Structure 1
Amino acid sequence: MFKLTDNPLGIYEKAIPEKFDWATKIKIAKEAGYDFLEMSIDESDQKLHRLDWSREKREYIKGLLADQEMYINSICLSGHRKYPFGSRDAKTRRKAYEIMDKAIVLAKDLGVRNIQLAGYDVYYEGSDEGTKAGFLEGLRHAVKKASSASVMLSIEIMDTEFIGTITRCMEYVRAVDSPWLQVYPDFGNLSQWTDEPERELEVGIGHIVGIHLKDTLPGKFKCVPFGEGTVDFGKLFSKLDALEYQGPFLVEMWADNTQDATVEESIDHIRSAGEWLKGKAGDRFNVFGKQA
């Protein structure tokens, strides 16, 4: 049974070694103290294949989650980095739309509430007014499909300048003007593209449906251990307290897949990250308080 709490805390699937199957990943997340998982559908063929899971596979995953009293709250749909809405290539754009439609169906079937969209018009091509227009057109298509399935879409604040701030993200949210398209900030990315990340939270607070917790350094947006980057977590959590944000948070981190970590080591690794963040957030995360 779902427990109604403020600020549920989830863990990114890629924080758990990829060698583990879904049953083990769910067990690790649960025993580490997290409320939910965020599924990854990145640009790899392995992850994109999930969009074509059979009905039986989808029901199997739902059963595993139910057995552990866990849920997948969001899908990180970074597959659009390779197949972006704004591509100049018509075949690539068609693939982007196909990925989007299949992701919405998968989310609906798994009970996932939110699909996080990568805020890139293009990634491996040069950006211009045409690619930006293609991105907006793709967002409008996505919202039409998602709204019919009652699936929320949200644009992540990214590691590139294009949508590196909430202010820039809101230009697209307002242009589409739908309750089904909102904002998913990332503390780490946001802190590298503006000197006033707290002000950016004010700009988007009425549209924020989830927040990534990640540490970063100038020019380094991944795999920075918590506490070794430049993100001022205490200040950002305090701002969210003032803004009365009650939505979910997601710990974004990556396992070292070159190491043969055990289940117990994997649990300890992601639990320690959550406990470190709780130290910065006070009593915000109830789940780790239960384990004290």
Structure 2
Amino acid sequence: MLSKQIPLGIYEKALPAGECWLERLQLAKTLGFDFVEMSVDETDERLSRLDWSREQRLALVNAIVETGVRVPSMCLSAHRRFPLGSEDDAVRAQGLEIMRKAIQFAQDVGIRGIQLAGYDVYYQEANNETRRRFRDGLKESVEMASRAQVTLAMEIMDYPLMNSISKALGYAHYLNNP
């Protein structure tokens, strides 16, 4: 739908629940939207998307082609449950594995950008160690995403770690990556 001057999109969670992406994209098109942002949150249902088979991924790509409604971005909020800043090595490793899978998924289906939440930990108490682990995990994530030609974007949150543009820019400068 490139006829509009400014494309208009909708977040997946604003549409009725269900796993049929063809129906979801058809509805978005009927409502006048040009794109849908996919959600991969901390629920097992949405996390399982990262383990979709080749056929399931192709079904999404085919739905995009059939409807003309793009899925250019993913909101990856699964790190709320599996934070990159976790002091528990197993939880942090799972967070990094989720990141790896999300980047691969994005590359496979044509998602160009993955939005991350700007917090080191969510359900635990933050400290200098959680911030260091988050920063290191973010650095590793940016390297993975760069190799896959996928952009990572940081959402500024109502959370001390990343609650301003200047703090987000601080991470961009640290990572030497805009």
Q: TM-score under structure 1 normalisation?
A: 0.59
Specify the code of the residue in structure 1 equivalent to 2:105: L
1:92 equivalenced with 2:87 (yes/no): no
1:73 matched to which residue of 2?
72
Secondary structure at 2:37 match in 1: strand
Q: Which has the larger radius of gyration?
A: 1
2:170 matched to which residue of 1?
171
In 2, Cα distance between the equivalents of 1:176 and 1:4?
Answer: 37
Residue 159 (structure 1) shift: 3.2
In 2, Cα distance between the equivalents of 1:6 and 1:174?
Answer: 33
2:81 matched to which residue of 1?
82
The one-character-per-residue Cα deviations of 1:101-132 (angstroms, maximum 9, x if unpaired) are 00000000110010001111000011111111
Larger RCO, structures 1/2 (Cα 8 Å, 6+ apart): 1
- Among the aligned pairs, what percent are the same residue? 44
Q: TM-score under structure 2 normalisation?
A: 0.95
Q: Which runs of 4+ in 1 moved over 6 A?
A: none
2:139 matched to which residue of 1?
140
The one-character-per-residue Cα deviations of 1:86-105 (angstroms, maximum 9, x if unpaired) are 00100001001100000000
In 1, Cα distance between the equivalents of 2:160 and 2:4?
Answer: 34
Specify the code of the residue in structure 2 equivalent to 1:154: A
In 2, Cα distance between the equivalents of 1:63 and 1:107?
Answer: 15
Gaps of 5+ in 2: none
Secondary structure at 1:162 match in 2: helix
Change (3 A) 1:108 1:174: same
Aligned Cα root-mean-square deviation (Å): 1.5
Change (3 A) 1:33 1:86: same
The one-character-per-residue Cα deviations of 1:119-167 (angstroms, maximum 9, x if unpaired) are 1100001111111111110111001111111000000112323212212
In 2, Cα distance between the equivalents of 1:169 and 1:121?
Answer: 13
Residue 5 (structure 1) shift: 5.9
Residue 28 (structure 1) shift: 1.3
